[in-house]
Structure 1
Amino acid sequence: MPPLPLPRRVVILGAAGRDFHNFLCCYRDDPSVEVVAFTATQIPYIAGRRFPASLAGARYPDGIPIYPETALPTLLATTPIDEVVFAYSDVTYHTLMRLAQTALAAGATFTLLSPQRPMLTSQRPVIAVCAVRTGCGKSAVTRRVVHLLRQHGERPVVLRHPMPYGDLAGQRVQRFATL
């Protein structure tokens, strides 16, 4: 099989969370990749917007368009795309395989990133508060963990990816000093 042309043209499927994180950690500064679009599902009012150029970096001076996930077949048919990256949760196996089938039928590679590739490194101990879907209570659990750590004399810091509501560039960093 001949090698893929460079840069590899990629679409990242997401829900305005892990997809953006994966882009920032794995693709933003990789000259062998051009992310041509994100798709969005689950979160209202994301599709039709652009991932901001100020976050996307110098290689993306116009930002990156965000299409509804339902537009994926059309994108694959009308735009040269080498790879489709799946980057969100809350889906059934059937949904995941339907998306993979759509990408593969169009001739694109379908990718799931390993957890290690976009993982942030830390010099400090880390407690991760995760859940299988939105609305499970991560914020309440985080507040309780912070409270317990403070009772033991620790000074925890809460780190969270920017949420897709409102101005993405304006929410590039969220620091929680008080809860």
Structure 2
Amino acid sequence: MMHAASRALAAGADFGILGPDTIQLDVDVPVVAVNAVRTGCGKSALSQAFADELDSRGRDVAVVREPMPYGDLTAKRVERFATEADLDGLTVEEREEYEDHVAAGHVVYAGVDYRAVFDRASEEADAIVWDGGNNEFAFAVPDYHVVLVDALRPDHGERYHPGEANLRRADAVLVTKENAASDEAVETASDVAARLAPADAPIHHSDSVVHADDPERIADRDALVVEDGPTLTHGGASHGAGYVAAADGGAASLVDPEPYAVGEIADVLDEYDHLDRVLPAMGYSDDQLADLAATIDAADPDVVVAGTPVDLDDLVDVDAPVVRAHYDLELRDATPSDLLDAGLDR
């Protein structure tokens, strides 16, 4: 980043980093913000749990996401998604973030002009859950701010911006995926959280429990794993729920997609060379989707295990059957209701 700053300064421009107090907007209704130190920590699962809990308490809830509009930004100044039909025409990356919320019955807002986004959301909702895609600052002043730390990437809480800043402003911290990590990694992630988060921020612990829709279709089959794209690419993760479901389901082998990758998918695998026997679900364009489908068919697996939140069958037509893998966020020492009570009663 400072190389870019140096170029700007040399050209005579100023270079600055805007902080939360500058960018965050005041909103008329309570805001529960879920952020993380990296993308792929499990924010959406906790956001959905909070939205479900608030809904069960009789609140009208809106979920607000970070900006993800592609195409005509003027037309997408304020976006509202409430039905499956509202998701038609979106990229894979957008659908990955919105689809589960919509399926759970929650209205999702996003867009370009976040003053207008929050105004619209607060007109129909009396509580907002900020689902902080990637690891961006919350765009609204939160009444309660929970930050997630991934035990599978235990030192990332102090290695990336703005994730570290999020951690330093947390009202509570949740260490995730502890069941999939070593004791040493869990200890490291917890130590980073304890060292950087405010002293009065409680640190909670959780597991990510993976399950497949049709596990019997995985056993003894050659499986190609397709995962959430951003988690594997700029998130730096080695795998996701699909890999775990394939391994736990007794797949005969995990197919390496790299020899079969074509077009932009081949470029992605070449760029992110830490990936091993997993395929990121890239779909920012029709060309990428076509390359994704061609790569899957060329690999000729017995089954595709899809750990991406989006329904892959709806987006690409491939020869192999697709088994979806999901994960449930299970807190060890509290419930989402407990967290909300502690946060909103502060």
TM-score by length of 2: 0.22
State the structure with more CA Rg: 2
| Bigger share in helix | 2
| Bigger share in strand | 2
TM-score by length of 1: 0.39
